[in-house]
């Protein structure tokens, strides 16, 4: 191969590698979040999250979550649960498998037309490192806001910070701002911008969310 042909090929290869930098790609964060009431006080939370490096393309990770939730009132609840988490690098060669056990406290309040939510979560994470698993702990705090816009439309946003219980202390931060549409009080669709920031990386995502609630009992009148 001549030098004149070799250098354009080398340049093209370098540009291709640069384009594969996952931090420079706009991807999607798709999630389905459910709260399934089995009585007035007890419910089963269900969450599935699928993230792609590009818009609905190039798998990044999947998370499946469930547990049990006790509602002290309409403004306060506590839960325990389990997460299954699996991720891949953009090339598909690097993989990560985690099992998480968590406990959380959720509080709700109102200020004028704003709905305000606080969520405090403690996580124990087992990460596969052949031939065994490593164990780590972290704390999470999420502040969530919602405000009606017009009829069934509303604006929604949250910020969640993750703190390790050992060095380095900062784990990650998640910021979201979007709009939602309530088809029904128990079924909502949300779309917005999602920013996931780590110590040495950050990702820009389009968040697509479906939020639902079911009741497996007859409500008291």
Domain layout of the chain by residue ranges: 3-215
Q: Give the tens place of pLDDT for each residue, 65-82.
A: 999 999 999 999 999 999
Q: Does 7 have pLDDT greater than 70?
A: no
Residue 24 pLDDT grade (very low, low, confident, very high; cuts 50, 70, 90): confident
Which pLDDT band, with edges at 50, 70 and 90, does 30 fall under?
A: very high
CATH number of 3-215: 2.40.160.40
Per-residue confidence band for 13, with pLDDT thresholds at 50, 70 and 90: very low
pTM for the full model?
0.87
Rounded average pLDDT over 150-158: 97
Strand partners of residue 107: 76, 118
What is the C-alpha to C-alpha distance for residues 177 and 189, in angstroms, rounded to an integer? 14
| Residues 178, 206 contacting (CB under 8 angstroms) | no
* Spatial distance between the Cα atoms of 54 and 182, rounded to a whole number of angstroms: 27
Residue 119 has pLDDT above 80, yes or no: yes
Considering only residues 12 and 187, tell me which one the structure prediction assigns the higher pLDDT: 187
Structure tokens at 177: 């701002």
Where residue 219 falls among pLDDT bands split at 50, 70, 90? low
C-beta of residue 135 within 8 angstroms of C-beta of residue 164: no
Question: Average pLDDT, whole number, for the chain?
Answer: 90
Q: Is the pLDDT of residue 100 over 50?
A: yes
């Amino acid at each position: 191969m001549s030098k004149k042909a070799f250098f354009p090929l080398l340049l093209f290869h370098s540009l291709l590698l640069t384009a594969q930098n996952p931090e420079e790609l706009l991807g999607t964060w798709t999630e389905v979040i459910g709260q399934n009431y089995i009585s007035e006080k007890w419910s089963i939370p269900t969450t599935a999250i699928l993230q792609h490096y590009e818009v609905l393309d190039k798998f990044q990770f999947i998370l499946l979550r469930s547990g049990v939730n006790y509602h002290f009132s309409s403004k306060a609840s506590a839960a325990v649960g389990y997460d299954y988490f699996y991720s891949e690098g953009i090339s598909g060669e690097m993989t990560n498998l985690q099992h998480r056990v968590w406990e959380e406290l959720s509080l709700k309040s109102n200020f004028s037309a704003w709905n305000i939510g606080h969520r405090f979560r403690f996580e124990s994470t087992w990460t596969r490192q052949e031939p065994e698993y490593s164990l780590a702990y972290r704390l999470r705090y999420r502040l969530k806001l919602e405000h009606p816009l017009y009829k069934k439309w509303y604006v929604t946003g949250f910020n969640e910070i993750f703190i390790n219980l050992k060095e380095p202390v900062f784990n990650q931060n998640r910021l979201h701002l979007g709009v939602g549409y309530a088809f029904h009080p128990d079924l909502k669709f949300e779309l917005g911008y999602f920013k996931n920031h780590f110590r040495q990386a950050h990702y820009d995502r389009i968040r697509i969310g479906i939020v639902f609630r079911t009741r497996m009992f007859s409500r008291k009148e």
